């Protein structure tokens, strides 16, 4: 274990972003168009009665902070926005983006404020960011604040995704502000007062595709190149790309970097598909240049397997960001990033070649992922593509919980004659939402697939126990279902924050099987099927 600090004052700040890139010269905090700058200096809004709800001990340790620091008054003041440490340099960054396929122009950190960049003892860089800490020049008509329900969802999901092994931003803490915030959750003209809260998000960098799109759209190619040079130098140091005589990265280096972005994005989306995660709002301004899951708004997990499902009410008609379309949307977003780089590269074919690496990487990792979910050591193109396709068609024929099905599939033992149809079906039965509606034809189709699966397993050189252990390491037992989030939110709204911490504790071990936590592994209850917050959510969620 690394040395741990016992005071926030021991943190070492580097703040490379604000020290390297041009600042907005206007210091006043009001909404405006910003030119020739990458950020605006801004301070968080003071909270009237900040209160710490929860913190992530693992994230604190990653920052070299001793857990005891998180219980101090200073910690609550800093991460609610009431105090700025001397070495911090708070700012809001500016970017653009495509939203639902349409260019939206300038966007920026409308309710996020970077506090600064921490360099840990092992030289790891972490950017600390408050979400919900007040307005910035990019808040447009909004107030820059956040409510408790959306903050709990962001805080818990960030840590849940990390422990699932999915590239993601992290969360250090969540604090109440002591104030109420007005929100119209469903945009139906019925706003309500809700408890205000602030989440401290943490990531190596919060740079998005939209950071590069905006200067390209404004034809500010000098700023674009500065941002690219900064990003490669500070966010991708492990690539160790050469620079030219002007200490800039050549076009060849930029193309190599872009290819790396394509690969990381592909690997991230494969991980989403593995666990049934649906981001819900894959706008280009919500795409991390590091291939991290970022901006937890109207996300959700597939309950019953449905590739056309989207958790986002704003996306209900077009379903652009539905589960099954996420791989294609990620590629579309990368094409927009390539368009932003084109003015510097001045050739389309090298960018197109780099984009090919997305599909190649996605296909390779997706095949490996499917094999692991099925308990296979390697993916065999001759058999396994059809085997997986037939299974997902089966999952979609009746209302089947994807998470539970794969977890139970690991219990269906490999034998020479496999299990009889009735025994296998009983093992899988907990995955079905309406088992009484499963027809004899469906059961027959399932049995045919199970026999094909068994024949494939005969090629494996692993025991049934080995296969189960391997499958249980990639098919989670606990995922952050929306109804679990809503139950914790309901309790927190009454002042009881223990369910938030209890849920965090379970989500830190998503692949475990603990009888004491069996209720967290249940499929969505019927009361949650259409309840607000448990099914679909709006962008204000």
Q: Which residues are catalytic?
A: 285
Those residues whose C-beta lies under 8 Å from the C-beta of residue 297, and which sit 6 or more positions away, are: 150, 280, 281, 286, 312, 537, 539, 541
**Helix/strand/coil for 202:** strand
**In whole angstroms, what is the distance from residue 93 CA to residue 109 CA?**
6
DSSP 8-state assignment for residue 318: T
**In whole angstroms, what is the distance from residue 366 CA to residue 489 CA?**
34
Both tokens assigned to 293: 């899951």
DSSP 8-state assignment for residue 379: -
Cβ density class 63-94: b for 16+ within 10 Å, e for less: bbbeeebbeeeebbbbbbbbbbbeebbbbbbb
Query: 418 and 450 in contact (C-beta within 8 Å)?
Result: yes
Paired residues of 350 in beta bridges: none
The DSSP code sequence of 236-293 is -GGG---B-TTS-B-HHHHHHHHHHHHHHHHHHHHHHHHHTEE-S---GGG-BTTS-B
Q: How many CB atoms lie within 10 A of CB 41?
A: 17
- In the chain, the N- to C-terminal Cα span, in Å, equals 37
The DSSP code sequence of 138-161 is T-TTS-SB-BHHHHHHHHHHHHHH
User: CB-based burial of residue 461 (10 Å sphere; 0-12 exposed, 13-18 middle, 19+ buried)?
Assistant: exposed
Which stretches within 458-515 are classed as H helix? Answer: 464-472, 482-493, 498-507
**In whole angstroms, what is the distance from residue 328 CA to residue 291 CA?**
15
**In whole angstroms, what is the distance from residue 510 CA to residue 298 CA?**
21
**In whole angstroms, what is the distance from residue 500 CA to residue 503 CA?**
5
Which stretches within 309-383 are classed as H helix? Answer: 326-345, 349-373
Paired residues of 182 in beta bridges: 193
Beta pairing class for 39-41 and 91-93: antiparallel
């Amino acid at each position: 274990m690394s040395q741990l600090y016992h005071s926030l004052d021991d943190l070492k700040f580097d703040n490379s972003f604000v020290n390297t890139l041009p600042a907005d010269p206007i210091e006043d905090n009001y909404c405006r168009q910003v030119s020739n700058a990458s950020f605006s200096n801004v301070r968080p809004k003071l909270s009237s009665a900040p209160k710490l709800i929860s913190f992530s001990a693992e994230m604190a340790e990653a920052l070299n902070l001793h857990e005891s620091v998180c219980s101090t008054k200073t910690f609550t003041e800093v991460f609610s926005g009431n105090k700025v440490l001397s070495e911090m340099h708070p700012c809001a960054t500016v970017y653009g983006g495509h939203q639902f396929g349409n260019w939206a122009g300038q966007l920026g950190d409308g309710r996020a404020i970077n506090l600064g960049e921490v360099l840990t003892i092992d030289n790891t860089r972490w950017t600390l960011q408050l979400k919900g800490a007040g307005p910035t020049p990019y808040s447009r008509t909004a107030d820059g604040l956040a409510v408790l329900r959306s903050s709990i969802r962001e805080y818990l999901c960030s840590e849940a995704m990390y422990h699932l092994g999915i590239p993601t931003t992290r969360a250090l803490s969540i604090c109440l502000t002591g104030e109420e915030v007005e929100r119209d959750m469903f945009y139906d003209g019925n706003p309500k007062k809700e408890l205000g809260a602030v989440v401290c998000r943490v990531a190596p960098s919060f740079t998005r595709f939209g950071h590069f799109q905006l200067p390209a759209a404004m034809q500010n190619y000098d700023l674009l190149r500065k941002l690219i040079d900064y990003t490669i130098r500070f966010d991708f140091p492990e690539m160790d790309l050469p620079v030219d005589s002007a200490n800039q990265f050549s076009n060849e280096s930029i193309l190599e970097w872009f290819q790396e972005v394509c690969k990381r994005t592909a690997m991230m989306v494969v991980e989403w598909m593995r666990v049934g995660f649906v981001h819900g709002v894959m706008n280009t301004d919500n795409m991390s240049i590091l291939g991290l899951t970022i901006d937890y708004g109207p996300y959700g997990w597939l309950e019953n397997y449905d590739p056309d499902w989207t958790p986002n009410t704003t996306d209900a008609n077009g379903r652009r960001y539905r589960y099954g379309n996420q791989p294609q949307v990620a590629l579309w977003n990368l094409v927009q990033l390539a368009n932003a780089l084109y003015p510097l590269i001045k050739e389309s074919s090298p960018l197109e070649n780099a984009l090919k690496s997305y599909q190649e990487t996605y296909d390779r990792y997706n095949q490996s992922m499917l094999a692991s979910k099925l308990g296979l050591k390697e993916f065999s193109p001759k058999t396994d593509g059809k085997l997986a396709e037939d299974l997902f068609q089966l999952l979609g024929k009746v209302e089947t919980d994807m998470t539970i099905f794969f977890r139970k599939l690991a219990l269906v033992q490999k034998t020479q004659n496999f299990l009889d149809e009735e025994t296998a079906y009983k093992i899988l039965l907990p995955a079905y939402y309406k088992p009484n509606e499963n027809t004899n034809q469906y059961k027959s189709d399932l049995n045919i697939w199970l026999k094909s699966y068994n024949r494939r397993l005969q090629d494996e050189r692993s025991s049934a126990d080995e296969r189960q252990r391997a499958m249980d390491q990639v098919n989670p037992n606990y995922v952050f279902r929306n109804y679990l989030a809503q139950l914790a939110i309901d309790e927190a709204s009454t002042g009881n924050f223990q369910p938030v911490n209890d849920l965090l504790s379970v989500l830190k071990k998503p692949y475990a099987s603990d009888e004491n936590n069996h209720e967290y592994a249940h499929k969505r209850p019927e009361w949650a099927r259409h309840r607000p917050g448990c099914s679909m959510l709006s962008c204000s969620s």
